[in-house]
Amino acid sequence: MTVATAATAAASRTSAASAPAAATRPPGGPPVRVPCRFLGWGAAVPGGRLTNADLEARLDTSDAWITERTGIRERRTSGSGETTASLATAAGRAALERAGVAPSEVDLVLLATTTADTPCPSTAAHVQHALGTRGPAVDVNAACAGFVYGLHLAAAAIHAGGLSRVLVIGGERITAITDPDDRATAILFGDGAGALLLEVAQPAAGEAGPGLLAVDLGGDGSAIPHLGIPAGDRYLRMDGQEVFRRATRAMATSCEAVLDGAGVSAEDVALFVPHQANRRIIDATAARLGFPADRVAVNIDRYGNTSAASVPMALAEALDAGRLSSGDLVLLSAVGAGLSWGSTLLRWGA
Ligand code: UT7
């Protein structure tokens, strides 16, 4: 794949990431390797609300502990009839409506999810059917990093030719795999979905148009024992401290690789949209990269960790608030189980 990629020291990498770093840094600024427009965005959350007070009432925890250690005050939880597919469909539909694009004009649905409603068929197939898009639809599972992986795959599909519009959705019903009695995880996770519609574009002559400027994807399977669903269990188990340590390092290193690969610094980037896993991880990464608070998207207080939905939900919220204009650079980054991580730099534009 020819997306500009940046090199990080990762235990395993995509083939794209092994492209020579020098090729990503020609003189004169970052190359737009995958020109594409971002036509529409959307988000959806379920009706249920789980506050720290609710958790305090039934677990050995406190509002003060949760707020101080995570930044979370409440999360949204799915009830009867609310599924990963229904949340993803609602977010996808909102993105199409905002773009003014008919479902029949979408060539591919990529659904990033850790919580497929059923093992077979894909949850994306249900979303495709509910939206009425053209045939192709596929799930992508890279845990919390899934949406960034999905964007990369969408850009690659557009770049390869034949597909004009790709709807990328991050959707999770992560509370379905969260043990309500395990205070190590029950305080963290919430449900939701976010979506972004990409369309192929020709680069404008002589100027930088919208698109993906750089991508860094990485993985380190040595972390598998620290976060995941053990065989025979139905719930996520996590060694929080170890994941915290690794996630903080991976996110910062990956973001630096992308900024380096595109030849820009944090000062050039209008908005940093990190995965919303823990407010302390967000703050530490933003500080290390040099992002002031007003250029970081944060909504963890209201939604908790929504896994693959977290980056597109935070991006959609920032867009709704008018925090991005055409031509702005946006840095997205996420780390999740695997570990798997991904970061990408976009030049925004419709
Ligand atoms: O999205 C995928 C990636 N996931 C992440 O990035 C999550 C990363 N990890 C974290 O966010 C944090 O590690 C947690 C929020 C899960 C835990 O925070 P921590 O600061 O790492 O706490 P800890 O596990 O070191 O525990 C500190 C203390 C312990 O008590 P003692 O031994 O000091 O007496 C724990 O037993 O806090 C206790 N504790 C709690 N107390 C109240 C642990 N969980 C809780 C809780 N409520 N829910």
Contact 285 CB / ligand 1 (< 6 Å):
no
**What local confidence, expressed as pLDDT, does residue 22 receive?**
33
Q: Which of 19-33, 108-122, 286-300, 306-320 has the lowest mean pLDDT?
A: 19-33
- Residues of the chain above pLDDT 90, percent: 85
Known active-site residue 278: no
Q: Average pLDDT, whole number, for the chain?
A: 90
State the Rg of the chain over Cα: 19
The number of beta carbons lying within 10 Å of the beta carbon of residue 287 is 13
Which residues are within 8 A (CB) of 343 and not within 5 positions of it... i.e. 6 or more apart?
148, 215, 216, 251, 254, 255, 257, 258, 331, 332, 333, 334
Q: Has residue 48 got a pLDDT over 90?
A: yes
Q: What's the average model confidence in pLDDT over 232-252?
A: 97
CATH of domain 1-350: 3.40.47.10
Pocket of ligand 1, candidates 68, 237, 241: which has the most ligand atoms within 8 Å of its Cβ, to mutate?
241
Report the largest interatomic distance among the alpha carbons of the chain, rounded to a whole angstrom. Answer: 61
Q: What's the average model confidence in pLDDT over 76-98?
A: 97
Which tens digit of pLDDT belongs to each residue from 293-324?
999 999 999 999 999 999 999 999 999 999 99
**pLDDT tier at 159, thresholds 50, 70, 90:** confident
Q: Which of 36, 141, 144, 159 is catalytic?
A: 144
Q: How many Å apart are CA 142 and CA 255, to the nearest integer? A: 17
Contact 91 CB / ligand 1 (< 6 Å):
no
Three-class DSSP category at 55: helix
Which tens digit of pLDDT belongs to each residue from 209-237?
899 999 999 999 999 999 999 999 999 99
Burial of 2 per CB tally in 10 Å (0-12, 13-18, 19+): middle
Global model pTM greater than 0.95: no
Please name the residue that has the structure tokens 């019903």: 173
Please name the residue that has the structure tokens 């305090």: 56
**What local confidence, expressed as pLDDT, does residue 160 receive?**
87
Q: Structural domain boundaries of the chain?
A: 1-350
Please name the residue that has the structure tokens 């915290």: 244
Known active-site residue 275: yes
